[in-house]
Amino acid sequence: MTDPHASLRDRVIESVLQSPGESDPAIRRGAAEGTGVPSDLQPLVDKIHRHAYKVTDEDIARAQAKYGDDQMFEIVVSAALGASRERLLAGLKALEGA
């Protein structure tokens, strides 16, 4: 099954991950991939990728103390985009096999 929105989605993701921002693009890319972020961010990124509905205010506050509002926004959005992309691609692959 061909995803008619793939190029637009990929442009959005690349824009979020590579555009100038408050956080390091390598951290944003790592957050999107679910790995390769500093150890203090890894538990939050893991939780976003695996069980986003379980992320608490305390989870955010722990990282926010070091990274601040703007960086945290970029990191959380990057992780959420990466996790959603993984789920979408898994769903499309499942449809191909049906």
DSSP for 44-95? HHHHHHHHGGG--HHHHHHHHHHHHHHHHHHHHHHHHHHHHHHHHHHHHHHH
Domain that holds residue 51: 6-13+22-97
CA atoms within 13 A on the CB side of 75: 30
Mean pLDDT over the full length of the chain: 93
- Note whether residue 38 is domain-resident: yes
Exposed, middle or buried: residue 60 (CB in 10 Å: 0-12, 13-18, 19+)? middle
- Number of domains the chain contains: 1
CA-to-CA distance for 37 and 24, rounded, in angstroms?
A: 10
Task: Report the percentage of the chain scoring pLDDT > 70.
Answer: 99
3-class SS of residue 20: coil
Looking at residues 39-52, what average pLDDT do you find? 96
pLDDT digits (tens, 9 = 90+) for 57-90: 999 999 999 999 999 999 999 999 999 999 998 9
- Note whether residue 1 is domain-resident: no
Residue 52 has a pLDDT of: 94
Q: 38 pLDDT band (50/70/90 cuts)?
A: very high
